[in-house]
Amino acid sequence: MLAKAKSILKKYWAYDSFRSIQEQVISSVLLGNDTLALMPTGGGKSLCYQIPALMSKGICIVISPLISLMKDQSDSLERKGIKSCCLSEDLFYRNIDEVLNKVMTMNYKFLFITPERIKNQVFQHYLWKMNPCLFVVDEAHCISEWGHEFRPEYREISLLRDNYPQVPILALTATATPRTIEDIQTNLNFKKENCIRGNFQRENLNYLVFNDNDKISRAIEIIKKYNDTGLIYVSTRKNAIIYAEELKKHNLSVAEYHAGLSNYERRQRQEAWQKGELKVMVATKAFGMGIDKQDVRFVIHLDLPSSIEEYYQEVGRVGRDGKEAHAILYWSEKDVRNLRKRVLMSYPEMGKIKEIYNALYSQYNIAYYDGKNYEKSFSLNKFCYTYHFDFISVFSTLKILSREGILHYNQREYPISKVKIQSDYLELRTILKMQDDYSSLLATLLRIYGCNHIEYTFIEEGKIASYLRWENEKVILKLQSLEKMGIITYIRFPIGEYIIFQQERVKKEELYISEKNYQTLKDLSIQRAEKMIDYIENAKCREQYIHKYFNIETEKCNKCDLCRSSQTKVLTLQEKIIEILLQGEKPISYFNNNTEFAEGEKAIEFIRQMLDEGIFTLNGDKIRFNKK
């Protein structure tokens, strides 16, 4: 069995052997066991499901929240000649039925989906025909309410176990505390506990933490010193902009990255950084997930991360090529205060949450006991400005309401459009005979998409523009005109933020949020922040502290700032003088004027004593050590 696995490894990836726990995980999956694999970022998790799937009959379903990562992995498999498809959000406006039919009939080996897709009836219909051989849950910590990145939609994954109890599940993550490990296996309905843990020690990574208020100067020194690809993490959009602008003043290759940028701007900057055209990205935690760049030499934190999990995930993005890399964190007492404040602001008072909830529905004039499944375009900044709410309170409330299943807040990277015919058959025939732009567009809708007056059909304006040899904007304008004429109903959801209201609106005093769960999660976030503070203030070894947090026992790393300082012998004044003279003679003035010898009088006194004893001798105005 493993001989075949190694043969596939060699054939498609040109590797002769497996790394770390890959072989152990692959064996477990091939035996049909539910498996939770804990592997460090960049530890080769994808091979743990790709190879077993290639050895099995049927299709492997990979569930991931990271659309960019899904596309990268799917494209990578396709380049190797392995049939793979990514059913992410940008396919909403295409004929999903057609895509899934192609996946099924053409014997695709891998299908990447977001967790939201699982409940889709069309997907469920096709899945049972596809003969799934393995369900893979990437970023599995997202399923745990106690994980640092809980996503309610991940709870839908248990439907797969309910409907396909014979298909093994492989859960993958790099960050999981003991409580999260237990929660993952419980929520995925593992038949029995089975957690395989990799080696989290990274010999090439140096953890360095410094208490320093002049962060910009330190960051400039690091960037110039390494003159290579790097990351700088900050806690807010405002800081990303401020720090990036300061660094640009020193002619450094730098750009900021945060959720407030347009999708186009984010993609453009990400691609420039990945290609090496841009050296350093100053980013919030919105950047980095799902990006596999091997040659990142350093990561600098200029603000304190909110948890050890977040910090560990971010430093895991450096040194994946095995060469020496540095994780550098600068902090001050002000940062500690700001972190504690930030955590508390992430959990607004219940009254504030209900106010924001009420305003979210009111801005769209949604009546009480209405609004379920309504989807609306949304601007977080505009909403905060209009209703005079602070950004953090609104963003935190959106997360809390999402966690409670009241609404879903996200960003759309691609527009979604749909059309339904309104005209009757005779009116359509009349329009189609007119031989103008409207008749051409209508004919295209019928020919390509089979649009009808019974249900909405998802369309793609770009595809229509290409077919008719029009500009994209012209297609949109003509579709809007057809709608004004009453011939079609045309709905277009643009790129950007949106909200789906998953429950009907209730009066704010009727809104139910479990205060017990709310308080538990708030306390947990506070505990995580305090652990982060304890890491910078009280750790004895940086790497050992992080591993212990994840319940991994290791020896001291002997290379972090703390281990280095404990290894450095503090020399006495006399030892310093002898060490210097062992390297060669020095003038007496050297010991008087050098800042290293603040106690100049004591230095001269010691030198005189050594001269008297014949251990030192004078050569003109220079002192020489008589080596015996």
Give the E-state strand segments of 355-414 in sequence order: 374-377, 407-412
Query: Around 460, how many Cα atoms within 13 Å sit in the side-chain half-sphere?
Result: 13
Three-state DSSP state, 326:
strand
Three-state DSSP state, 330:
strand
| d(C-alpha 263, C-alpha 474), whole Å | 22
Share of the chain above pLDDT 70, in %: 94
Rounded to two decimals, the pTM is 0.75
Going by DSSP bridges, is the β-strand pair 416-421/488-493 parallel, antiparallel, or unpaired? Answer: antiparallel
Over residues 569-627, the pLDDT tens digits come to 555 777 778 878 888 888 877 776 655 565 556 778 888 888 888 888 888 888 888 86
**CB burial of residue 603 (10 Å; 0-12, 13-18, 19+):** buried
Lowest mean pLDDT among 123-132, 171-180, 289-298: 289-298
How high is the mean pLDDT of the chain?
Answer: 88
Residue 93 has pLDDT above 50, yes or no: no
Neighbours of 565 (CB within 10 A): 9
Intra-chain end-to-end CA distance of the chain, in Å: 68
Over residues 38-57, the pLDDT tens digits come to 988 777 889 999 999 999 99
Neighbours of 177 (CB within 10 A): 20
Query: What integer is the mean pLDDT of 484-490?
Result: 93
Over residues 140-159, the pLDDT tens digits come to 988 886 666 677 778 889 88
Furthest-apart CA pair in the chain: how many Å?
A: 120
Is 316:291 a contact under the CB 8 Å cutoff? Answer: no
Using pLDDT thresholds of 50, 70 and 90, give the confidence band for residue 485.
Answer: very high
By residue count, the chain amounts to 628
Query: Per DSSP, what are the bridge partners of residue 586?
Result: 623
Query: What integer is the mean pLDDT of 413-426?
Result: 84
Q: Which helix (H) or strand (E) holds 23?
A: helix 22-30
What pLDDT is recorded for position 477?
94
Residue 1 has pLDDT above 80, yes or no: no
Query: Around 418, how many Cα atoms within 13 Å sit in the side-chain half-sphere?
Result: 14
